[in-house]
Amino acid sequence: MKQDDYQGLIEQLLPMSQTPKFEVLLDKLTANEPSSAKLLIKMEIRRLMTPCNRAIDLRGKVDGECHQYELNGQTHWLDDVAINHYYERLPLYNGQMTQGLWEDLHNTPNNFRVKHEQEKHTQQQGKGPVSDTAQAALLPEKLTFGRYLARSESRIHFATQVLITLNTGYEVHGVTSDLSNSGCRVRVPAAFDYPPSAEVLVQFTALGQKYQDPDLEQGLSYRIIGVDQNKESTSSVWLRLRLDTSSDAIKQALDTEMASPDFRGKQDGEDKLLTLKLQSYEQSFLHHTSVLPLYFAQDKLEYVLQTRQNRELWDYWHDSRNQPVINHIFDAKRLALLQVEGASTSQLLLYCFYVEKDKQRFFYSASPSEMSEDERHLFWQLGAKSPSWRVLKVTMSAINAGDIERLQDVSPDWLNTLKTLTHVALVQDVTHTESKDSYLSHPKPSLSSQALRRFLHQRNPVCAAQLISSDRQPQRREPRYAYRSEVSLVHPEQGALKGRLVDFSSGGLNLKLAQPFQGAKDDLVSVSLDAFVNIDPRAPLVDMPYQVIRVSPKRDNIQLKLTTEAPNTRRRQYLRRLIEHNLDKLTVLDERLPDPPLIWAMHQLLLTRLTVQPYFVRRDNGVLSVPAVGINLPPSRLHRFLERAGGGRQLSFYPVFGDKILTRTHEVTRPSQPLKELVREYFVWIDMKDDKVRAVHTFADSEFESDDARRKFIQLAQKGGAFAVLRNRMTPLAHAEQDIDATQLSSLLKRDTHKARQLEDEFVALCAYGELVDVTDEVLMRLGR
């Protein structure tokens, strides 16, 4: 028999121990217990209810700041957890300080001895690694993209003691770090729960006593607007509070303090630092994300935002004429599924491939919901064999009034145009090249390939959307010059053609043809610039080999580039000299660059609609860590999955990297010759019991011997805990400090050199960018689960 087995019964009897009904109740509740148990319970209750006059001093024994209290005629030193525990347990001991209450206050969860014993116990039981302090490097700071801290008033660095009463009734002591007329930042114990938007009562104890202000002494109503981790101590967190009471008490106290000659506070520029840091991480994300954003006005695609890393996906959706045709994946039926009235977000999975025949490229795309099981297996059998096989994840979200209101400050001149936009579609390539065998392993149906003709795209019309470069940099390698002259060219199959020069550079030509061009992109043609040769018969501008790079939809206009063959070096040099000597006669065609405010608006609509979990990897003295992760609110399914591994509050990247962050990032983080891109799929099982993480099991897709092994792992994982398949894409990050706005950094340097240097050093240490995508549903379908 163990005493712990009767703990609930003991606590039930404690309040009745000093009443006449105690013996009757004890006999009734222990009627089915042995006499020895009854005696043990009675002795334990008597021990716990013994009066105790010893003072309690928890200083140095708990993970928290202790304060002095006068309780039951004794002076005690208790932290916030203990004092709240005291008032919570006091009725159980009939309002007296007893041996039981004394022990309770020495056994709070933040007691160092209790924590040490708990750590030993969990290690013996097979502790989940996420909660281990050794994994702190995989618990990044959460950055809410697209949401900036813009203060309407200055905050003052000012430290004063406060007493905060939470909506649960608990009281916690805190110290402010900065204070303004309408808000404050307070350091409080981490042991309590601080739900966002909750109302709290803040009593400014020190200021109230100093100025005898009843509002400060009785407390002001504040609302929690954020909880930040304290990097210097895990025992406390930072609360960001907003004043909810119409009172000038704080303003008057601050004005009086600032007027004092010995006032040493200073204005706080923390909001500007945080905004600059956030915008710098956002800029790095915008440069490196592979997501392709598309902006719609109802069913019309108006804009496409191109980044450094999504060009491959954009180029994929170009036909044999090098004309964009991504608009064809958004036919009327699919738009009806994606643009559901009243739905803020909709998703669609698309399987795609193309075939080339007679110098024409034919695209196919289909979503699982559009096909029967036999059609899907046939689509997989035909498509997965092709090098052009792609799996795309399309997420479309509606643009609401709140978006337009935010964009009014960013791009007021473009507001009338932006008001016409209704939806943003984010296209992600989630193809896993090593998984093709999984698609092909399904039995081939008896259907004819003609059953897939309804998924064949039309060739026209081509995409008329405006392509916007996210970098705001010119895309042309050299200037183009308008010039009208006759040109002749020869195509190997079509023969001789006549045309007129529209514009040219030393490396390319833009021609208007007299008859339709029957060739395709990448064809080689022979070009003679007749007008130039007539002027100078010795000019090496006859039968020059050019490569076709684009054909207009009507095939009457083509763009060419000079090939890199050795004889063309002399021709390119001649054309450069020709241009230099005739600059006064030539008209430069300026490249049309998008208006920066329009780009900023496109960025904001992307930053507030993350469909990936962007994160950053830092190298510090050879040690790798994940210092920051971009998020949106409300949290996505992937966000909540990573939070489970982090204990519910923090996102943990342990499910991705575990104890192998060095080996799993080596290809892109090594200082010399890093890979341009690394893509891997991870099967993750968070084994949980009673909402607590017992273990995290992560396997790369390549670590399974077969699809059967993958299915067995999934079956095991789905029995208990949480399961997900995560696609991890990583790219090297060099010179990330260049993403910090130089003007804002210079301003910060003047105000706070130390913090500005810290921010620079933080970005210098970044070595890789990564983004996670939840591909669980696609993998389960691929494996037939």
pLDDT digits (tens, 9 = 90+) for 286-340: 999 999 999 999 999 999 999 989 999 999 999 999 999 999 999 999 999 899 8
530 vs 638 pLDDT, higher one: 638
Quick one: how far is CA 304 from the chain centroid? Answer: 21
389 vs 39 pLDDT, higher one: 389
Q: Which of 284, 300, 417 lies closest to 735 in space, CA to CA? A: 284
Asked if residue 723 has pLDDT above 90, the reply is: yes
Place of tokens 């709290």: 200
Least confident of 213-227, 245-259, 479-493: 245-259
Query: Which residues, 6 or more positions from 753, have their beta carbon under 8 angstroms from its beta carbon?
Result: none
pLDDT at 399: 92
Please, which pLDDT band fits residue 128 given cuts at 50, 70 and 90?
A: very low
Asked if residue 56 has pLDDT above 70, the reply is: yes
Asked if residue 262 has pLDDT above 70, the reply is: no
Q: Strand, helix or coil at 497?
A: strand
pLDDT digits (tens, 9 = 90+) for 508-548: 999 999 999 988 898 999 998 877 777 777 788 888 899 99
Average pLDDT over residues 721-725: 92
Asked if residue 38 has pLDDT above 50, the reply is: yes
**CA dist., res. 531 & res. 520, Å (int):** 26
**CA dist., res. 677 & res. 288, Å (int):** 11
- Residue pair 452/358 in contact (Cβ under 8 Å)? The answer is no
**CA dist., res. 61 & res. 114, Å (int):** 10
Please, which pLDDT band fits residue 154 given cuts at 50, 70 and 90?
A: low
Q: What is the pTM of this model?
A: 0.74
Most confident of 3-7, 246-250, 398-402, 751-755: 398-402
pLDDT at 1: 40
CATH 2.40.10.220 spans which residues of the chain? 155-268, 480-589
Q: Please give the structure tokens belonging to residue 465.
A: 């959307």
pLDDT at 120: 67
Least confident of 74-88, 281-295, 355-369, 697-711: 74-88
Most confident of 132-141, 210-219, 701-710: 701-710
Percentage of the chain modeled with pLDDT above 70: 94
Average pLDDT over residues 597-626: 92
**CA dist., res. 414 & res. 428, Å (int):** 27
Please, which pLDDT band fits residue 129 given cuts at 50, 70 and 90?
A: very low
Please, which pLDDT band fits residue 153 given cuts at 50, 70 and 90?
A: low
Please, which pLDDT band fits residue 254 given cuts at 50, 70 and 90?
A: confident
Count CB neighbours of 49 within 10 A. 21
454 vs 533 pLDDT, higher one: 454
pLDDT digits (tens, 9 = 90+) for 352-382: 999 998 888 999 999 999 999 999 999 999 9
Q: Which residues of 128-286 form beta strands (DSSP E)?
A: 141-144, 155-157, 161-165, 171-179, 183-189, 199-203, 220-229, 236-243, 267-268
Answer whether CATH 2.40.10.220 is correct for domain 480-589.
yes
Least confident of 129-143, 255-269, 334-348: 255-269
- DSSP of 757-775: HHHHHHHHTEEEEEEEEE-
Q: What is the mean pLDDT of the chain?
A: 86
| Superfamily covering domain 155-268 | predicted glycosyltransferase like domains (2.40.10.220)
Asked if residue 768 has pLDDT above 90, the reply is: yes
Beta bridge partners of 514: none
Please, which pLDDT band fits residue 152 given cuts at 50, 70 and 90?
A: very low
Average pLDDT over residues 433-446: 90
**CA dist., res. 642 & res. 658, Å (int):** 12
Q: Which of 420, 426, 366 lies closest to 396 in space, CA to CA? A: 426
pLDDT digits (tens, 9 = 90+) for 164-201: 999 888 888 888 888 888 888 898 888 788 888 889 99
- Residue pair 732/669 in contact (Cβ under 8 Å)? The answer is yes
Quick one: how far is CA 705 from the chain centroid? Answer: 32
- What's the order of all strands across the beta sheet hosting 360-366? 360-366, 345-357, 390-398, 423-429, 292-297, 300-306, 466-469
